[in-house]
């Protein structure tokens, strides 16, 4: 895919959604961090339902740590893998309190040192909470990048590197949100909705189905 096509793709995505947001509910960087940890192999909807119960009771490292694993599990048991996630969140809260004064660090190395925080989670927090240029490649973004030809790659790191290189600079900050929403609602896994896709004429996917 050439630079002219990429520029037009992101121009249209921006035109349709000038101020894209994550669908995870949060009000602070810490709330976002915990929501993203909980969202692994779970839907944003299920995470939002759990945090809607949790955050009014505890939404700081100190308050969630005070709940303990058992106490936290009671709020998040509707989310898949809640036991291991509860352990990770409690340990993350402990480390935030001990190492960072209860604040979420604003650099990748410190974030990835927290339990349950991998490269994707760190990138989400850096980009969404702190507005740093970072690209969190999940299954949706990996699929869209490969299927359209925007940034094909064999693994998530390769796709991330290409996106950071090829996405036009003016659109790079919000590209993660546009791509994930496009993959979630239009360029879906089983049968992409090509007939109602805003960028169908620019996409290089060979086997485009109709919307029938």
Instruction: Give the active site residues.
Output: 120, 138
Closest-CA residue to 167 (of 175, 159, 177): 175
Query: CA of 103: how far to CAs of 26, 28, 109, 160, in Å?
Result: 15, 10, 15, 27
- Would the annotation count 93 as a binding residue? no
On whether the CB atoms of residues 12 and 168 are closer than 8 A, the answer is no
How many helices (DSSP H) and strands (DSSP E) are in the chain? Answer: 10, 0
Closest-CA residue to 104 (of 164, 28, 49, 180): 28
Give one DSSP letter per residue of 72-113, joined into a string: HHHHHTTSTTHHHHHHHHHHHHHHHHHHHTTPPPSSHHHHHT
Element (H, E) at 211: none
Query: CA of 208: how far to CAs of 9, 159, 181, 202, in Å?
Result: 17, 22, 19, 12
- Would the annotation count 187 as a binding residue? yes
Binding-site residues from annotation for [4Fe-4S] cluster: 187, 194, 197, 203
């Amino acid at each position: 895919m050439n630079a002219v096509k990429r520029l037009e793709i992101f121009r249209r995505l921006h035109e349709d959604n000038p101020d894209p947001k994550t669908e995870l509910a949060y009000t602070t960087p810490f709330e976002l961090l915990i929501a993203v940890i909980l969202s692994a192999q779970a839907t944003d909807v299920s995470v939002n339902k759990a945090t809607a119960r949790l955050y009014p009771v505890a939404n700081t490292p100190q308050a969630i740590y005070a709940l303990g694993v058992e106490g936290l599990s009671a709020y998040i048991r509707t989310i898949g893998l809640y036991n291991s996630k509860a352990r990770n969140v409690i340990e993350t809260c402990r480390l935030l309190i001990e190492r960072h004064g209860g604040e979420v660090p604003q650099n990748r190395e410190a974030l990835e040192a927290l339990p349950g925080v991998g490269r994707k989670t760190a990138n989400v927090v850096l980009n969404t909470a702190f507005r740093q240029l970072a690209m969190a490649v999940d299954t949706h973004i990996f699929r869209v990048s490969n299927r359209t030809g925007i940034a094909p790659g064999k693994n998530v790191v390769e796709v991330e590197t290409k996106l950071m290189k090829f996405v036009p600079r003016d659109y790079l900050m919000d590209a993660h949100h546009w791509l994930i929403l496009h993959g979630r609602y239009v360029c879906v896994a089983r049968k992409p909705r090509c007939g109602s896709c805003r960028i169908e004429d620019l996409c290089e996917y060979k086997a485009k189905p109709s919307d029938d």
